[in-house]
Structure formats: structure tokens, C-alpha cells
């Protein structure tokens, strides 16, 4: 289960970091309004919702390592 948690955390971190970097590039190139319009799509919102729901679900699953010690 820890491997799944780490994978979700890594994917979320890469997506957030990549989105932030892309927004900074768009800002410094003077294309911030076009970037904001391109990123405001249902597919991006769905990815964000899936990551949020998946993270909450993983938080409710107990960690089984260390049981029986």
C-alpha cells in the first residue's frame, strides 16, 4: 500500500509542479490569459478531482506495516 501512496504522491507533485512551471513560463512570455483559458477545461478539473478523491481514499486505508510487533 505504501508503494501506491508514494506513486500517487509523486504523480500529484509532478502535476502540480509542472503546472506551476508552465504557468510561470506563460506569464513571462506574456501568454498568461491564453494559458489560463487553455487550462480551464473539464479534463484538467477531472484529473484534479481524481487526485483529490484518490488521496482521501488512500488516507482512510490503514497502513498494515508493523502489525503484530
Q: Considering the entire predicted model, what is its pTM?
A: 0.75
pLDDT tens, residue by residue, 8-65: 999 999 999 999 999 999 999 999 999 999 999 999 999 999 999 999 999 898 877 7
Contact indicator for 49, 40 with CB cutoff of 8 Å: no
C-alpha cell at 54: 484518490
Tens of pLDDT along 29-38?
999 999 999 9
Nearest to 54 by CA among 16, 18, 4: 4
Name the pLDDT band for 66 (thresholds 50, 70, 90). low
Amino acid at each position: 500500500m505504501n508503494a501506491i501512496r508514494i506513486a500517487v504522491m509523486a504523480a500529484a507533485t509532478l502535476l502540480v509542479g509542472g503546472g506551476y512551471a508552465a504557468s510561470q513560463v506563460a506569464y513571462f512570455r506574456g501568454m498568461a490569459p491564453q494559458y489560463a483559458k487553455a487550462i480551464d477545461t473539464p479534463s484538467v478539473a477531472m484529473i484534479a478531482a481524481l487526485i483529490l478523491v484518490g488521496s482521501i481514499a488512500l488516507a482512510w486505508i490503514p497502513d498494515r506495516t508493523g502489525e503484530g510487533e
